[in-house]
Amino acid sequence: MTIEMKEAKENEQLQIALVGNPNGGKTSLFNSLTGLRQQVGNFPGVTVDKKTGETVLPNDMRVTMIDLPGTYSLYPRREDEWVAYRVLMRQDKAVHPSVILLVVDASNLKRNLLFCSQLIDLKYPVAVALTMMDIAAKKGLQIDIPGLERELGVPVVSVNPRKDKGIDELKKVLARVAEQKTTAQPKDFIPIKTLAPTSIEALQEVIPGTGDYASLHYLINHEEFPLNETLQVEIEDAEKRTNFNPTKTQAEEVLQRYRQINTIIQKNVVLPDPLQKKLFTEKLDNLLLHRVWGYVIMLTVLFVLFQCVFWVAQYPMDAIDWLFSTFKGWLGDKLPTVWWSDLLVNGLLAGLGGIVVFIPQIMILFGLITLLEDTGYMARISFLSDRLMRKVGLNGKSVMPMISGFACAVPAIMSTRNIENKKERLITILVTPFMSCSARLPIYIVLIGLMLPDNQNFQKGMIMMAMYLLGIVMSLIVAYALKFWIKIKERSFFIMELPLYRGPRWKNVGITMVEKAKIFVTDAGRIIIVISLCLWFLSSYGPSKRMKAVEAKYEQALAAIPATDSAKIEEINLEKGTDKLENSYAGILGHAIEPVIRPLGFDWKIGIALITSFAAREVFVGTMATLYSVESDNDATLKEKMASAKRTDGTPVYTSATAIALMVFYVLAMQCMSTLAIVKRETKSWKWPVIQFAYMTVLAYVCSLAAYHIFK
C-alpha cells in the first residue's frame, strides 16, 4: 500500500479524484455516483468550483469523490486547469486523492488517451470510465475494451451515466483499485527518462523519491508550486546546469505519446469507413448553425421560452397570490389589533408572499434553460454568437458567462476564468451584470402585469423578451466602447467543441427546477424577509410628533362620522394609513430622494424600493408588498393595490411609461452588492467595481429618463 493511501486511511475518508476532458460526461458520472450527497465550495485561494460528494463502494467503503475541473492534458492554461494540475501533482494540501477515476470519451479516443497516458506515468492507481460508447458506435467505431485494458495496464469500464448503465461494475473496479488489488502500471507509457536524462536526474537529487514524469513537471512548472525559496533556487540551478529546454521537451513528449496512442488505436479500434453517412448531429447543425436561419431559430427559441414563463406559470401564480391574500385577510380578522399581529400579517406574511408567488416562473425559466443545455443547443448559441462578440471586443467564450448571467451574475462572473485573454475577461466581467438575472424576473412580471390585462400573454412575452434583449444589446454597446478604453493587447482564439445533440434527462431538469426554487427561497428569501421586517418597522413608526399629529387628526375625523357609515369609516382609515406611511421613517426617506427620481416618473414609494433593492434586486417586490400592506389592511392582492395607487393629483402611479422606465432602470442599474463583491474578488481591486457601479447607475438613470418621456 502506498504512503498516500496509508495517510488517507488513517486520517480521513479515502478520496477519489474524477478527472477528464471537458464535454466527456464527467459531470453526469459524478452525479450518478454521488446522487444528492454533494457539496459545492471553492478550492482554497481560488474561485474555482469544488464539487465533492460521497459514494459507497461494494466493500462498504465510503469514499469521497472530488470532481476536478475539466482539462485536456497535464499542461494547463486556464485557472481551473491549474487547479486540477496542482491536485494531480500533489501540490494541493487540502485535496490528496489516492485513486484517479478518468472519464474517457470513446468517440474522441485519441485525444482523451493523451491525458490518460500522462496520469499513468504519474504512477497513480487509475481506473478508466469509457463514456459515449453509443456515439462511438454511431460513428462506426468498434473498441476492443479488454485489448485496451492490456495496452494501458489499467482497468477500463464502459459506462452510460445518463442511464445508470455500468455504474455497479465501475464501483467494483474502484473498490479493487482502492484496495490495491490492481496496482499502478509499473512501466512508463513512453520512455520518460530519454526526454531529458541529465535534467531528471539532477531534479531527483534535489527532491529524492520523485518519479521520472513528476520530475519533468517540477522542472517545467515548479514556479507555480508552493515550494520554499531554497528549493526553488535549487531547481532553477538544476535547469541551468543541465541546459533544460522545457518547450522542446514538452513538444517531444507529446509527439511520442501520440505515436504510442496511434499504435494502441490501430490494434484495438476498428475505424469507420470515411465515406459513411454524416451523423444526425452534423445534419442538424447544417440548419441550426446556418448563417441566416440559425439566428432566426435562436431568436424563436428564446421567444418561446419567455412566452412559457408567462403562459404556463400564470395559473399557479394566481392561485398562490389569492391564497396569501385570503389567508392574510382571515388572519387579520382573527388576531387582536396589536403591534405583533401587524408585524406578522403586514411584515412577515407580506414579505413571504412576495417570495413564494414567483417560484413557478423561476422553476419554469430554469427548467427550460437546463433543457437547452442538456440537449446541446446552448453550446450552439455560443458558436453563433462568436462572430458578433469579436466585433465588440469579446469572443465566443464570453457567451457562456453572459448566458449564465441570466441565472445569477455572481457565478457567471466567476466562470469568466475560462477566458484566457485578460482584456476579454475584464470586459466580460464589466458587462455581464446587464444580463437579466432571476432576481429581475419578479420585477418584470409585476410591472408587465400592471401594463397589460391577464389575457394578453403574447404581448407580455414580447415585452419580457424586449427587456432581456435590451440588456444584451447594451452589453454589446458597452463592450465595444470598453474595447478602445482598456489598453491591454493580447491575441485570443476561440476553439469550442460542440457536444452532440442528446435527449434531455428529465430527472436532471426536475432536480434543477427544485434546486433553483430552493436557492431563490433560501438565499433571496432570507434577505427579503429581513428587509421586509425592517421595512415594516420603518413604515409603521416615525418621529413621535408627526405620528401623534396624524393620530389626533384622524381621531377627530372618525369621531364626526356615524358608526353606521362603514364606507366612510373605511375611506378615512385608508387615508389615515397613507398619511401614517408618509410620516414614517420610510416615508421621510422616500420623500427625501423623490426630487431626484420624479423626472423618471417614480414616486417616493418606488424610491424606497430602489434603496432597499441595492441589497438584492428581488427585494423590490417584497418592499412593495410591505409598503402597500402597511398602508392598507384590505385583502386585495399586491397587483391590485399597485394598480389602484394614485399620486397626489389623482393620476395613477403605475402608468405604462412609469412601468417601462422602471424596468429599464432595473435592466441597466448595478443593484446587487454580492455582484460588486465578486467583481472586486475577481479583479483583485476596488477600482473596477467602483467604475462598474458608477457607469451602470448613470446609464440606467439616463435611459430610464428617456424611456419615460418617450412613452409618456
Question: Per-residue pLDDT averaged across 94-113, rounded?
Answer: 88
Residue 441 corresponds to which cell in the numbers above?
424576473
pLDDT at residue 7 in the model: 42
- Residue 201: pLDDT band (50, 70, 90) is very high
DSSP string for residues in 284-326: HHHHHT-TTHHHHHHHHHHHHHHHHHHHTTHHHHHHHHHHHHH
Question: Per-residue pLDDT averaged across 167-186, rounded?
Answer: 77
Report d(CA 422, CA 488) in Å as an integer.
Answer: 7
Report d(CA 356, CA 198) in Å as an integer.
Answer: 68
Report d(CA 236, CA 336) in Å as an integer.
Answer: 80
DSSP string for residues in 100-169: EEEEEEGGGHHHHHHHHHHHHHTT--EEEEEE-HHHHHHTT-EE-HHHHHHHHTS-EEE-BTTTTBSHHH
Which residue is associated with the grid cell 375625523?
557
Residue 65 corresponds to which cell in the numbers above?
469523490
Report the relative pairing of strands 156-158 and 14-20 from DSSP bridges: unpaired
Q: For a pLDDT cut of 70, what percent of the chain falls above it? A: 81
Q: How many CB atoms lie within 10 A of CB 537?
A: 16
- pLDDT single digits (tens) 640-687: 777 777 777 778 888 889 999 999 999 999 877 767 777 887 787 888
Dihedral (C-alpha) 624, 626, 630, 633: value to the nearest 10 degrees? 90
Is residue 224 predicted with pLDDT exceeding 60?
yes
User: For all residues of the chain together, what is the average pLDDT?
Assistant: 79
Report d(CA 284, CA 298) in Å as an integer.
Answer: 14
Question: Topology of domain 3-178, per CATH?
Answer: Rossmann fold (3.40.50)
Is residue 10 predicted with pLDDT exceeding 50?
no
- pLDDT single digits (tens) 38-91: 555 544 444 456 678 888 888 788 889 998 888 888 888 777 788 889 999 988
678-700 exposure pattern, b = at least 16 Cβ within 10 A, e = fewer = bbbebbeeeebbebbbebbeebb
Is the model more confident about 393 or about 430?
430
70-84, 118-132, 350-364, 518-532 — most confident range: 118-132
Report d(CA 360, CA 348) in Å as an integer.
Answer: 21
Residue 207 corresponds to which cell in the numbers above?
527532491
Task: Out of 130-139, 498-507, 675-684, pick the least confident.
Answer: 498-507
- Spans of all domains in the chain: 3-178, 192-270
- pLDDT single digits (tens) 527-576: 667 766 776 777 778 888 888 887 888 787 777 777 777 777 767 776 77
Is residue 511 predicted with pLDDT exceeding 90?
no
pLDDT at residue 520 in the model: 63
